[in-house]
Amino acid sequence: MSRHEPGERAASERRAAELRESIAHHRKRYYVDDDPEISDGEYDALERELVAIETRFPELRTPDSPTLRVGGAPAEAFETFTHEIPLLSLDNAYDVEELREWEARLLKAIEGDRPTYVVEPKIDGLSIAVHWRDGLLERAVTRGDGAVGEVVTGNVRTIPSVPLRLTRAVAAFEARGEVYMPRSAFRELNRRREEGGEPPFANPRNAAAGSVRLLDPRITADRRLDCLFYGLARSSDGVPPTHFEGLRAMRDLGLRTNLRNDVAADLDAVLRYIERLQATREELDYEIDGVVVKVDRLDQRERAGATSKFPRWAIAYKYPAQQATTVVRDIVVQVGRTGTLTPVAELEPVQLAGTTVSRASLHNSDEIERKDVRVRDTVVVEKAGEIIPQVVKVVTSKRRRGARKFRMPETCPVCGSAVVREEGEVAHRCTGAQTCPAQRREALLHFASRTGMDIQGLGESLVDQLLRREMVRDVADLYRLEAGALAELERMGEKSAANLLGEIEASKRRPLNRLIYALGIRHVGERAARQLAGAFGSLTALLDAGEDSILAVEEIGPKTARQVRLFAEQRGNRELVERLIAAGVDPREESRPAATAPGSPFAGKSVVLTGTLPGRTREEAKSEIEARGGRVTGSVSAKTDLVVAGQAAGSKLDRARSLGVEIVDPEEFERMLSR
């Protein structure tokens, strides 16, 4: 969190959101529509204001930040860079036989000359090219597709093992290496993420790759990344004749290289290295998936050359995935924070890749069906870089009689609400979005969010405290909080408690569409909530509505209608809504049948206004159209349904004509409004 006043940050956040929207709008007007509404100077002022906010609160920076945008190119977060020497990838060998075949091809290419090899652990991270100029770090570029990568200098700069200055001021120097996340850092990061309700990373490689591509280097700095260099690509001081000497030269300049790298005189020595490393692999603080075998002498490398995809002078020997056999004791179901039900196999504990494994994810019921995993089955589990092992297959020959098939429960094991699986989806979900303890935290945060009931100050840490102390269980409890108890909480005081209660009180006056959205009904986004609010006028009316009448609302499809009904049918949800109403949260909206009546000629139409309309401002015309279920947009495209052309209509009218869009004059427009 920032060290600024929370109110100030929140205000800036709102302003930044407004600015982004406005910038996006004007940018498009300028670049895409070629029809600017404001002067260049005014546009620049918007960007400057946003940059000022982002400088003050860098955590508010987003991928569309003007600070990150390069010229008029498509919105790219990172600059790209073309590698002068492409970053090739390696061919793989999965067993000794394939390794021997590789050597035979190599020997043929270098005509019987006997190579010495360098053997290196193959670290599971992401490769990076780093440039220094006059000894100073100049840029760091991801591999990308091998030819063009992304410039991530700011992030790589935060990795302590990457020197910002070489020991000598070499004029131009480029090295390649692997950025990775040490296992210890990975465990710590995932623990923090799970505590904070964020989804954990599947493996250290994903975590490292994600961290290098974060837009805020301050977060990257917090991720404890590391880097080992494995290749000297270019040096203005000249490159030594062998790779092994190149590794030493890099070390001399202050680059970290792997101390487990070694020289192997022949393929037998390579195989011994592979075995040795495999035996100690679990002692390493990083994950490896094999050994890279490289020809040491650069002149031999040159003669060996490359195929279209890989160099012939190197190969990656991949260790087989680590597997073990064990027995499924039970299959249980976990409910995630968004209500997804995940079946998990509880296993007889077994040693695998240095850890004791007693659970494995089964992902979803389709997976279980496909693999036919049953309780009491003997199964093969595998760890392929992932922290959570997977069930690979059932050893059917060992299936015992009475092995029980798994069935997804029909009610949520945590809260008892109905479980549904939507058409076309693999996941089963709990429908108790508001009442299920597994989903409470998310439900509260969503309810209080800016686009929901906008209860400022009710953020993650406060929600966590309220839940931990059992001061709230669901959103209705928020309206019973008392100042005294609130003031006792961490980082609260009488003043903040009073402020929060003020915010909660104010939330009672939010319009109905916000409340509907804040309830977190699946598929009900802000737009659908607005439509539903307009059509039904009160929460009770919405929950009492039948599926057909929900479906009759403009823009509401069968999936959404079904979910609204499901929500309404859960007793827990009905009780919750009654308590909300009793607490005074019962906004009303005049239901506007016109807005949803399919009969209006504007319902669901995309309309463009151009020229002046006698007796109406553009704003008035726009709200009349919107009140009848239409949308008003700024420019004419093939998607435009109707153009209202007033006096002195210009290029838009021409465009409408050329696209064959329906055009009406002001009199016809008035007639349509009164229909």
Where do contacts with ligand IVH occur on this chain (CB under 6 A)?
88-90, 120, 122-123, 127, 143, 178, 230-231, 292, 311, 314, 316
CB of 316 to ligand IVH, least distance (A): 5
CB nearer to ligand IVH: give 118 or 553.
Answer: 118
**Least spacing, CB of residue 150 vs ligand IVH, in Å:** 15
Q: Is 157 helix (H, G, I), strand (E, B) or coil?
A: coil
Nearest distance in Å: CB 231, ligand IVH: 6
Nearer to ligand IVH, 300 or 431 (CB): 300
Strand ordering across the sheet containing 92-93: 92-93, 314-318, 288-295, 117-123, 262-264
Nearer to ligand IVH, 230 or 536 (CB): 230
DSSP bridge pairs for 335: 341
CB of 372 to ligand IVH, least distance (A): 35
Nearer to ligand IVH, 286 or 406 (CB): 286
The span from the CA of 386 to the CA of 309, in Å, is: 27
* Residue closer to ligand IVH, measured from CB, 316 or 613: 316
48 Cβ neighbours under 8 A, 6+ residues apart: none
Q: How far is the CB of 80 from ligand IVH (least distance, A)?
A: 18
Number of other residues whose CB lies within 10 A of the CB of residue 287: 24
Determine the longest span between alpha carbons in the chain, in angstroms.
Answer: 92
Query: Do you know the residue count of the chain?
Result: 675
Cβ pair 366, 373 in contact under 8 A = no
405 within 8 A of 362, measured Cβ to Cβ: no
Q: Which of 122, 294, 383, 652 is catalytic?
A: 122
Residue type, 376: R
User: Contact, 636 vs 35, CB < 8 A?
Assistant: no
Based on the residue annotation, tell me whether 405 is a catalytic residue of this protein. no
| Nearer to ligand IVH among residue 186 and residue 479 (C-beta) | 186
Coil, helix or strand for 298? helix
DSSP for 90-149 reads --EE-SHHHHHHHHHHHHHHTTT----EEEEEEESSEEEEEEEETTEEEEEEE-TTSSEE
CB of 291 to ligand IVH, least distance (A): 9
The pair phi, psi for residue 655, each rounded to 5°, is: -65, -40
Cβ atoms of 463 and 473 within 8 Å: the answer is: no
Closest CA to 130 of 310, 301, 254, 263: 254
Give the strands of the sheet with 642-645, arranged side by side.
631-633, 606-610, 642-645, 662-664
In the bound state with ligand IVH, the residue whose beta carbon lies nearer, of 251 and 631, is 251
CB of 480 to ligand IVH, least distance (A): 56
Cβ-closest position to ligand IVH: 127
Q: Whole-angstrom Cα distance, residue 368 to residue 408?
A: 10
The set of catalytic residues is 122
